[in-house]
């Protein structure tokens, strides 16, 4: 079958791509079709073809998958942010766990997997050197309203109406949506308030084509445990370009508190403006002007409190983050006598979790602002057995090891999607910790790095996936590696 642009064809979907497109084959030719899920038989229209694969648009689901459900969001297809919203949640979990294992097999070359149980029979029959215990993926009881952070762009629609929402996939075209079902319910009333303020005082949204207009984005954050809210307006200018900021502050504060029974226990704690006058896709500017409150909110992961500013990195799913870090702490096997190094430590979230059970913790992060936040968070929690360094792990660790004889019983790594640099992996091997706890947001680069470490004297003891982002393709994985004696 030789298909060309605009031709219609039918195909059964057998897999999903890393970006969420359904994958099916016709006469050996591979098709990528957005919005299709595994098990669907679909009619699609050819959009673009390459030598051995092509892209097509979903026209009609001819035979729905047994796992297909009706998306709860009315703009799920247009937005594209929730690639798996049409898939039953239990099937999402099964797919993500299999994705991790397939990458470990295909890229890492691992084959000896045994099922690890939880509860009374945990680790029964598990632990033989060379065997990898795979524990059930940690999902959510309620996979909605889990995001504590959202960034909404503002713009005009084709009729000249002020809108906010999300950029459609791979575009800068805004899909109107002020109540994303992954975000908190407070987002909708905050956005409505900001939009009405802009319309009343004739404050234009930013137009990136001509670099004019004022309001680029609105950042909203919520402390799930504290109920504290943050609003930060990202503007092409400064706070005075907004006009009447005192009116906006008064209105935002009045939305919540004692008089607003709809959101009991929630209060507006911080309102600020971020100046970003660059022609860039980067959302936040580096200059923050505080309009109300202390300039930050606080929240907890477990019993550790964190101070979160507009520019702070902080995990967006606090419910699953506590489970993820709890698993990391379990895998570290701390007794109170260990020295722990936390590489790519960010604002110290894992470091401070570990410090409660370790003798000493050292955190390393290349971003200076993150280290400032980490030190402030340590002070906030009165944790004194932790020290933070600014720099690359592959430079800081050898220096501390060789000059100051600082060693490691346990090393924790939580790198970006690209994984660990080989120099960092080499440093880990030279420091020879008893255990390495690897937290990964990309199971492909994880598999590559595990293969490297296992070639240098380690074996993967435990693996567990954690669903931090239900409805999307993303999955976190946590592994425990043990040094072979």
Residue positions annotated with a catalytic role: 441
Answer for the pair 309, 456: CB distance below 8 angstroms, yes or no: no
Nearest to 328 by CA among 300, 298, 358: 358
The closest of 394, 481, 469, 425 to 110, measured between CA atoms, is 481
Closest CA to 476 of 438, 424, 420, 429: 438
Quote the tokens at residue 453: 């470490």
**Is 477 in contact with 101 (CB distance < 8 Å)?**
no
| Residue 272 · residue 252 · CB < 8 Å | no
Cβ within 8 Å of residue 170, ≥6 positions away? none
Q: Is 189 exposed, middle or buried (0-12, 13-18, 19+ CB in 10 A)?
A: middle
In sequence order, what are the residues at sequence separation of 6 or more whose Cβ sits closer than 8 angstroms to the Cβ of residue 296? 230, 270, 307, 308, 309, 312
Please compute Rg for the chain using Cα positions: 24
3-state helix, strand, coil in the chain (%, to 5): 25, 30, 40
The Cα–Cα gap between 477 and 465 comes to: 4
Cα 381 from Cα 399, distance rounded (Å): 28
């Amino acid at each position: 079958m030789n298909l060309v642009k605009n031709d219609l064809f039918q195909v059964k979907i057998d897999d999903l791509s890393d970006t969420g497109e359904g994958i099916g084959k016709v006469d050996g030719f591979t098709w990528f079709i957005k919005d299709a899920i595994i098990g669907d038989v679909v009619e699609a229209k050819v959009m673009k073809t390459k030598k051995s694969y092509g892209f097509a648009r979903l026209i009609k689901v001819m035979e729905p998958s047994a796992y297909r459900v009706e998306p709860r969001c009315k703009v799920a297809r247009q937005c594209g942010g929730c690639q798996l919203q049409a898939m039953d949640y239990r099937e999402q979990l099964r797919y993500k766990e299999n994705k991790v294992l397939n990458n470990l097999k295909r890229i890492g070359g691992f084959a000896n997997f045994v099922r690890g149980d939880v509860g009374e029979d945990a680790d029964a029959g598990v632990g033989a050197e060379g065997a990898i215990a795979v524990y059930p993926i940690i999902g959510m009881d309620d996979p909605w309203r889990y995001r504590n952070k959202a960034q909404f762009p503002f713009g005009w629609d084709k009729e000249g109406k002020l809108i906010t929402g999300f950029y459609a996939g791979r575009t800068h075209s805004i899909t109107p949506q002020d109540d994303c079902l992954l975000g908190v319910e407070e987002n909708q009333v905050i956005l409505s308030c900001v939009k009405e303020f802009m319309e009343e005082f004739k404050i234009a949204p930013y137009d990136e084509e001509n670099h004019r207009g004022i309001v680029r984005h609105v950042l909203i954050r919520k402390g799930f445990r504290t109920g504290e809210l943050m609003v930060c307006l990202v503007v092409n200018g400064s706070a005075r370009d907004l006009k009447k900021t005192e009116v906006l502050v008064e209105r935002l504060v009045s939305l919540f508190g004692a008089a607003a029974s709809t959101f009991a226990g929630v209060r507006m704690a911080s309102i600020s403006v971020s100046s970003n006058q660059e022609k860039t896709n980067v959302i936040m500017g580096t200059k923050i002007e505080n309009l109300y409150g202390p300039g930050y909110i606080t929240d907890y992961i477990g019993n550790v409190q964190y101070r979160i500013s507009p520019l702070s990195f902080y995990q967006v799913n606090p419910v699953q983050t506590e489970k993820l870090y709890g698993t990391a702490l379990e895998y570290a096997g701390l007794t109170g006598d260990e020295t722990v190094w936390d590489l790519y430590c960010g604002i110290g979230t894992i470091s401070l979790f570990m410090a409660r059970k370790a003798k000493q913790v050292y955190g390393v992060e290349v971003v200076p602002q993150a280290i400032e936040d980490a030190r402030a968070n340590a002070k906030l929690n009165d944790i004194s057995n932790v020290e933070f360094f600014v720099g690359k792990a592959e430079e800081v660790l050898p220096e501390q090891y060789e000059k100051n004889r600082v060693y490691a019983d346990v090393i924790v790594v939580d790198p970006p999607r690209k994984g660990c640099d080989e120099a960092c992996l080499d440093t880990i091997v030279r420091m020879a910790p008893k255990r390495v706890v690897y937290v990964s947001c990309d199971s492909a680069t994880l598999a590559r790095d595990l293969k490297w470490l296992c070639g240098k004297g380690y074996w993967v003891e435990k693996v567990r996936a954690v669903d931090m982002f239900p409805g999307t393709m993303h999955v976190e994985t946590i592994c425990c590696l043990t040094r072979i004696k």
